[in-house]
Structure 1
C-alpha cells in the first residue's frame, strides 16, 4: 500500500516493525478482531528469515556435512552451501510474509515511521492515528564500536553481509566471541578460511559461565580457529585488498592456532593481524533513530518496559528493541504477552525460562542465572557439574566415531536458600534439544529434589542431568 493512500486513516493498533515480534503480534491482533496497521521500512518478516537465524542455521548444517564428507574442494562446497542457503530464504524475497499477513487481515505499508502523540507519520507525507495502542517493534542493528579506522575502511562485514554474500575469504577475522561470532567462525573455518576470533573478554560467550566459553573455544580450535581472548582491537587500516588490525596495549594477540610452529609467524608483527575481511559481531543496539520517541516523552536510550511490555500508557515495546532476551523466541513470547494484554486477557511476562542457544557443533544451551547474575541480585548459589561424555549415549556414539573429541559438559545452578533450580549451562552434541527441559525447570522453579527424581530415557544425552541434580539435592539436604 502506498503511504499517501493512508493519510488520515485510523486504526485501533499500529505496529511499527514486522520482525519476529511485530509480525506475530499484528497477526494475532488482526485475528482477534482488531483493526491493525503494520509499518515496515525494510523487509516484512524482519531479519531472522533472511539474514540471521534461518540462513545461519542452513550454513551451519552445510558446514557440518562438508566436514563429514572429507571433501577438500572447499570453494565448490561453499558455493553449493550458499545456493542452498539462498533457496532456503527464498532469495530474501519477503512477498510470502507480506501475503500471509494480508491474508490474516493486517493492513501493511512499507514506509519509514516517526511518532507523535496519538499518530504516526509515514515517510513524512501521510499521517495515521491509533485509538488503542502503538507497539514499537523496530528491532536492533549491528554495533560498530568506536575503533580507529573501523568505519569507512573497505572489507568490513556484519553478520548481514556474511549471511547474504557469496565470498569465501582466505583469511577472516571476527570481532566478537558471542553466539554470532562463534557460529560464523565454525561456518567459515569448515570451508577452509583461516579464521581468527578476537574477544575482549577473558572468555568466549562472556555473558555465560566462564567454563562454557572455555569449552566453546576448545570446540572451535578443533576446527583450526585461532581464538584470541583478552584482545582489544585498537585500529583498522586498509591493507591491499584486505585489512590490517592493530591491538591495544595489554592484549594477547599471539595465535594458538593448532599447527603453527610459532605464534604469529605469518603476521606483520606480534601486535598486528592481516585479514582479507573483518566481520564485526560485538552485539546489537536498538533501532530508534528517526522514530521521534522524545515527542512521546520517551528516552531512546532507556526503553524500560513494565511486566506487560508497556513503555507508557498506550505505548508498548517488544522484541530486540527492548534488549530483553534478544532472540527470535524471546520476541515471539513478548508478542504473545502484548497480544493477550490488548485482547483482554492480560498477564505478566516471565522471561526467566528463555533459553540462550548457540548452534555450533557442539551446541550450547543456557538458561536463567549465571553465578554472577545471581550474586548481583543477592542470591546465594550452589553449583554442580557433570561430564556429558560419561553418559552411555556418549559411549555408544563413540563406537561409531572413536575420535570424537567434542567438548561436552553440564552445570546446574541452585538457589541455596529455596533449593530450586535458577540456572543451567550445557554444551555437547544436540545440547540445544536435550537440555531444553532445564529451561522449563527454571521457569517453573522446580526443586533440585524433583529434578533429581525425574527419570530420563536410556540411553539419552539427558541422563547427564541426573548426576549434578542428585549431587545438589544431597548438598541441600546436608
Structure 2
C-alpha cells in the first residue's frame, strides 16, 4: 500500500475512487488485464457491505432464525454468540484481507480523502495524481437522517444500520424508523433475541416501492414473531429517547434510523459535474463527460451490491474495448427476512407510469407439495408463501414478478432472468419445474395469465 506522498505527480490509466461493491471488483479486473490502476479509499477497503451492511446483517439473520427454531440458550446469551459469529464473519471489520486481494491483483492502493480539480485527483491535500483513460467514481452512500425535530445522527441513542451492525448491545426496546429492506431485516434480528421492537413506516405498507400485498404479507410475518409493526405512522419529534408520533409519545432505548441512503458526491462540482443531477449513459459514463464514469449507489440504479457488481463489469468491458450497454431490467430486489422477499422488474405502478397496460396473476404457494412436505417436519410452520407475475397485456411478455416464501431468493430467481430475457408467460407456463420444489408455484399464475391473454 502506498502513501499519498509516494505517488505524488504520477499518472495512472484508471483511477477508481472508492473500493466498495463496485470499485473493488472493477479495479481488480482492470489491473489483472494489465492496466495501471490506482484505487483510493477513505475508509475500509472492500466498502461497507462486507463489514457493516450486507454480510453482517445476513449472519445475524441466520443466527436469529436458528435461535427462534431452537431457543436452547437465553436470549442475551444467544445474542452474544450471534455477535461473535458476525464479527468473525466480517474479520472484526478489519480490511487487510480485502486490501491484500487488491494488491495481489496489481492495484495500487492508497488510503486517503480525495478531492478534485479538472483532470486531477488530490489526495489528503498533499499529493496530486492524474488519469490517462478514465476516472471512476464509486464513492457509495451515507445514511439519510430525515428532517425530524430533534433528530440528529450523533444524538445519544440514535443508531444507523452500520452502528447497529457493529454493536454488541441488545437493547430492551428498539424503535426502527423505516420499513424498507434494512428496517425489516433488523426488526427480525432484534425481535428474535427478545428485544421489544417497534417498526415505524410512514407509508401505508412496508416495502412501499413494491406491490402492496408484499408489504402487507411481510408485516404479518413480522408481527407473528413479536414486532410491533405500525404503518401509516410518521415520527414527528425526538426528545432524547422520547419519540412523538401523531398517535402519541413513548420512550425507547435505541432509535435505529433506516429510511434510506444518499450518494456521497462531495467535491464533484470541481469536475464540472452537478452532484444533484448525476446521470449516466448505458455504459455508466457520466453524461456530458468523455472519461468520467459513475457506478454503484451514485447512479441510483438498482442500489444493491449485485447491482454495483454488474455496473463494474459494464465499465470494465468498456475500458477494455469490449463495451456493451447495461441492461438493469433483471436485477432482483431481495429482503432476506424469513420468509424471504424477491421482486424484479416492474410493479403495476411503475408500469402504469411508463404507460404499459398490465395483466397480473397471483398464487398461494403454501398449497404446493413442497409446502406440504415441509409441514410434515414442522407442522407449526405457518410462514406465508406466494407469487405474483406481471405481464405486458399487449405482448404477453413477463415484465415484473414478486414472491415471498422460504428461500424465495433462490426458487424465484429464474423470474429475474425471465424478465431480463423478455420471456412470455406462455413459455413460463410450459416450463417444467423439479418436483417437489417451491419453484412449481410459478406454473399456476403463469398458466392463469397465459389463458387470460389468449382470450
| TM-score interval (norm. to shorter) | over 0.9
Quote how far apart the aligned CAs of 1:293 are.
1.3
Quote how far apart the aligned CAs of 1:70 are.
2.6
| Matched position secondary structure for 1:310 | coil
Deviations 1:75-96 (A, max 9, x none): 0000000000000011111001
The aligned counterpart of 1:228 is 230
The aligned counterpart of 2:274 is 299
Quote how far apart the aligned CAs of 1:72 are.
5.7
The aligned counterpart of 2:80 is 79
1:379 aligns to 2:356 (yes or no): yes
The separation in 2 between residues aligned to 1:461 and 1:273, in whole angstroms, is 42
Quote how far apart the aligned CAs of 1:408 are.
1.3
- For this pair of structures, how many residues does the alignment match? 451
| Matched position secondary structure for 2:409 | helix
Range with greater deviation from structure 2 (352-361 or 111-120):
111-120
The answer (yes or no) to whether the contact 1:112–1:123 under 8 Å persists in 2 is yes
The separation in 2 between residues aligned to 1:346 and 1:106, in whole angstroms, is 22
The aligned counterpart of 2:312 is 335
| Matched position secondary structure for 2:389 | strand
Taking the TM superposition and a 5 Å limit, the aligned residue runs for 1:245-284 are 245-248=243-246, 253=247, 271-284=248-261
The aligned counterpart of 1:57 is 58
| Matched position secondary structure for 2:349 | helix
Deviations 1:335-387 (A, max 9, x none): 00000000000000000000000110000100000000000011000000000
The separation in 1 between residues aligned to 2:4 and 2:409, in whole angstroms, is 43
Quote how far apart the aligned CAs of 1:26 are.
0.3
The separation in 2 between residues aligned to 1:363 and 1:184, in whole angstroms, is 13
Deviations 1:261-293 (A, max 9, x none): xxxxxxxxxx1121100000000000112xx21
The aligned counterpart of 2:444 is 467
The separation in 1 between residues aligned to 2:199 and 2:9, in whole angstroms, is 52
Deviations 1:285-317 (A, max 9, x none): 00112xx21122211111110000010210000
Following TM superposition, the consecutive aligned residue runs of length 4 or more in structure 1 with deviations greater than 6 angstroms are: none
Quote how far apart the aligned CAs of 1:153 are.
2.7
Deviations 1:195-253 (A, max 9, x none): 00000000000000000000010110010100000011100012xxxx111014xxxx4
Taking the TM superposition and a 5 Å limit, the aligned residue runs for 1:148-167 are 148-151=149-152, 152-167=154-169
The aligned counterpart of 1:177 is 179
| Matched position secondary structure for 1:351 | coil
Structure 1 counterpart of 2:190, from 188, 191, 198:
188
Structure 2 counterpart of 1:308, from 283, 287, 304:
283
The separation in 2 between residues aligned to 1:224 and 1:339, in whole angstroms, is 46
The answer (yes or no) to whether the contact 1:153–1:236 under 8 Å persists in 2 is no
The separation in 2 between residues aligned to 1:231 and 1:209, in whole angstroms, is 19
Deviations 1:135-194 (A, max 9, x none): 000001100001000115310000001101100000000000000000000000000000
| Matched position secondary structure for 2:79 | helix
The separation in 2 between residues aligned to 1:74 and 1:93, in whole angstroms, is 28
The answer (yes or no) to whether the contact 1:218–1:407 under 8 Å persists in 2 is no
The answer (yes or no) to whether the contact 1:171–1:276 under 8 Å persists in 2 is yes
The answer (yes or no) to whether the contact 2:118–2:272 under 8 Å persists in 1 is no
Structure 2 counterpart of 1:206, from 208, 214, 223:
208
The separation in 2 between residues aligned to 1:19 and 1:57, in whole angstroms, is 18
The separation in 2 between residues aligned to 1:296 and 1:280, in whole angstroms, is 32
| Matched position secondary structure for 1:20 | coil
The separation in 1 between residues aligned to 2:274 and 2:221, in whole angstroms, is 42
| Matched position secondary structure for 1:406 | coil
Structure 2 counterpart of 1:451, from 415, 428, 431:
428
| Matched position secondary structure for 2:363 | strand
Range with greater deviation from structure 2 (114-123 or 330-339):
114-123
Q: For the aligned residues, what is the CA RMSD?
A: 0.8
Structure 2: give runs of 5+ residues left out of the alignment: none
The answer (yes or no) to whether the contact 2:42–2:111 under 8 Å persists in 1 is yes
Structure 2 counterpart of 1:365, from 319, 334, 342:
342
The separation in 2 between residues aligned to 1:273 and 1:176, in whole angstroms, is 17
Quote how far apart the aligned CAs of 1:32 are.
1.1
